[in-house]
Amino acid sequence: MQRLWIQAMPAVDLLVKNGRLILKEQIQQTDLVIDDGKIVEIGHSKPGLRADRTIDAEGNLILPGCIDIHVHSREPHGVHTAAGQEDFQSLSQAAAAGGYTSLFDMPVTGEPPTTTVEGFRIKKDIAEKRCLVDYAFYGGAGFGNLEEIEALADAGVIGFKIFTREVPQGKDWRGVVVGEGGSEMFLERLKARGEVNLAAYYRSAPNASEFLEISRSIGFARSVGGKINIAHLSTAEGLSMVREAKAVGMRVYAETCPHYLLLTNRDLVERLGPYGKMYPPLRSDHDQEELWRGLNDGAIDFIATDHAPHPKETKESGWDNIFEATAGVPGLETALPLMMTAASEGRINLFRLVEAMAERPAEAFGISRLKGALKAGCDGDFVIVDPKRETTLRENTMFTRSSAKVFDGRRVRGVPILTAVRGEVVMEEGDVSGKPGYGKYVFAKGEKS
Ligand SMILES: [Zn+2]
């Protein structure tokens, strides 16, 4: 009879056996069972359980799929972002290769920008055809589109991006401009004096300018009572503002990026040149130390990549005049191996890493019923990491269409070897097999946080 019962059991879609699962408070060697896109069980699977596919993860770690809350596709393509640059397909291939299963795309690096419901729909139509991991979009919020804000929220934006400096040139949209006494002033003075070498970039946006921008932003958040995330935190001074706001109970979150944790301005000046130019600039050893401290004690909530792809040609001009190069570096294919390497060196523990790259993003953005943790009922989003494998990051093996010199040649230990989105394997041993259009929009509606 028992045998008949087993035969009558329908097969589940996916069984991952013997991996070391990083759960909320423990690492457990057990099985992960996924059916219909959802995690249905965590625990030793019943003998005889049939699965359409079984993966042996013995010796490897299993993390919840990473969620990048800060990426820039170049979609929709337009005058300033010609076709051939990063699109949702190359972006999400890079994500799958790097262990990311959800991406939140920023609003003003495509044309039209996501500052109207129409702009939102146009971008969503494109992502529905091309994205192979899940995604959501920010809306842009500024004086130019006040009448669109509520409709954008209803349409399903995951949050709003508010600028503390001038929106990049050429965008047909007026953003909030605050902190104009900060970096713009420094920038104009340097240019007027002809100081355009590599070292000048840091001085165009010194630590004080970030401090001013963050204090202004936190002041606004305080007056309206909303949740706010400080994007790409890079300085000790900025971090101290975040700490103070948290201490008085404000809902202030902060993200930093692997490049601020692992590089300093010296790397730009001595080695990377314009390939190390992003906004804000790389900082000092002291800032870096403080960022690690903030990440480890929870003052910094998220690790995001600020994946900002740019073709090589737009970087090269920066060797002679750093202000002519585009600002931004890719990060989707390097962030997890870099952070796993940091974990192997004892600079961050694995629970904190998973919190910062998956769990906290899901909680803060109201999608934790679906994403961010290995638990029954959640989407079957996970990444298998071989914690012992060592490799060298190479620009020429990456899926991003960006120049990626920033971490080219860097040795890492701890490599994502399989990524699954809702139970579907989208990357295995570096081969991205996910189908364009498989990715779905992630709606936060319906969850209180
Ligand atoms: Zn950005």
Dump pLDDT digits (tens) for 172-214.
554 444 433 456 778 888 888 899 999 999 999 999 989 988 9
Q: Note the helical H segments in 135-284.
A: 149-155, 183-192, 198-204, 207-224, 236-247, 258-262, 265-267
**H or E stretch covering 17:** strand 12-22
Look at residue 102 in the predicted model and tell me its pLDDT: 98
What average pLDDT score do residues 16-33 get? 96
Q: Residue 435 pLDDT > 60, yes or no?
A: yes
DSSP class of residue 272 equals I
What average pLDDT score do residues 257-286 get? 97
Dump pLDDT digits (tens) for 65-84.
999 999 999 999 887 777 88
AA letter at 17:
K
Whole-number Å distance, alpha carbon 20 to ligand 1 midpoint, is 33
Look at residue 165 in the predicted model and tell me its pLDDT: 59
Look at residue 4 in the predicted model and tell me its pLDDT: 53
Q: Which residues pair with 19 in a beta bridge?
A: 30
Read off φ and ψ for residue 90, nearest 5 degrees: -65, -35
Please state the length of the chain. 449
Handedness of CA 175, 180, 185, 186 (dihedral sign): negative
Question: Both tokens of residue 416?
Answer: 């994502």
Q: Distance between CA 337 and CA 329 in Å, rounded? A: 16
Whole-number Å distance, alpha carbon 54 to ligand 1 midpoint, is 38
Whole-number Å distance, alpha carbon 4 to ligand 1 midpoint, is 57
Closest by CA to 65, choosing from 26, 37, 44, 106, is 37
Look at residue 70 in the predicted model and tell me its pLDDT: 96
Q: Distance between CA 85 and CA 74 in Å, rounded? A: 7
Tell me the DSSP string of 8-70. Answer: HSPPEEEEEEEEEEE-SS-EEEEEEEEETTEEEEESSPPTT--EEEEEE-TT-EEEEPEEEEE
Whole-number Å distance, alpha carbon 328 to ligand 1 midpoint, is 8
Whole-number Å distance, alpha carbon 39 to ligand 1 midpoint, is 32
What is the dihedral angle through the alpha carbons of 293, 295, 298, 302, rounded to the nearest 10 degrees? 160
Closest by CA to 226, choosing from 248, 255, 253, 254, is 253
Whole-number Å distance, alpha carbon 159 to ligand 1 midpoint, is 14
Whole-number Å distance, alpha carbon 318 to ligand 1 midpoint, is 19
DSSP class of residue 252 equals E
Determine which of 79-83, 243-247, 366-370 has the lowest per-residue pLDDT on average.
79-83
> Which residues fall within 8 angstroms of residue 206, CB to CB, at 6 or more apart?
186
**H or E stretch covering 429:** none
Look at residue 446 in the predicted model and tell me its pLDDT: 52
Whole-number Å distance, alpha carbon 55 to ligand 1 midpoint, is 36
Q: Residue 274 pLDDT > 60, yes or no?
A: yes
Closest by CA to 108, choosing from 190, 172, 33, is 172
Look at residue 261 in the predicted model and tell me its pLDDT: 98
Whole-number Å distance, alpha carbon 140 to ligand 1 midpoint, is 12
Number of helical (H) and strand (E) elements in the chain, helices listed first: 15, 16
Look at residue 192 in the predicted model and tell me its pLDDT: 87
pLDDT band at 449 (very low <50, low <70, confident <90, very high): very low
Whole-number Å distance, alpha carbon 254 to ligand 1 midpoint, is 13
Q: Which residues pair with 123 in a beta bridge?
A: none
Look at residue 46 in the predicted model and tell me its pLDDT: 86
The answer to whether 408 and 394 have CB atoms below 8 angstroms apart is: yes
Determine which of 188-197, 228-237, 244-253 has the lowest per-residue pLDDT on average.
188-197
pLDDT band at 286 (very low <50, low <70, confident <90, very high): very high
Whole-number Å distance, alpha carbon 223 to ligand 1 midpoint, is 25
Ion ligand 1: residue ranges with CB closer than 5 A: 306
Whole-number Å distance, alpha carbon 280 to ligand 1 midpoint, is 9
Whole-number Å distance, alpha carbon 308 to ligand 1 midpoint, is 6
Dump pLDDT digits (tens) for 287-299.
999 999 999 999 9
Greatest mean pLDDT among 3-17, 211-225, 356-370 lies in 356-370
For the entire predicted model, the pTM comes to 0.94
The answer to whether 300 and 291 have CB atoms below 8 angstroms apart is: yes
Place of tokens 């970087």: 315
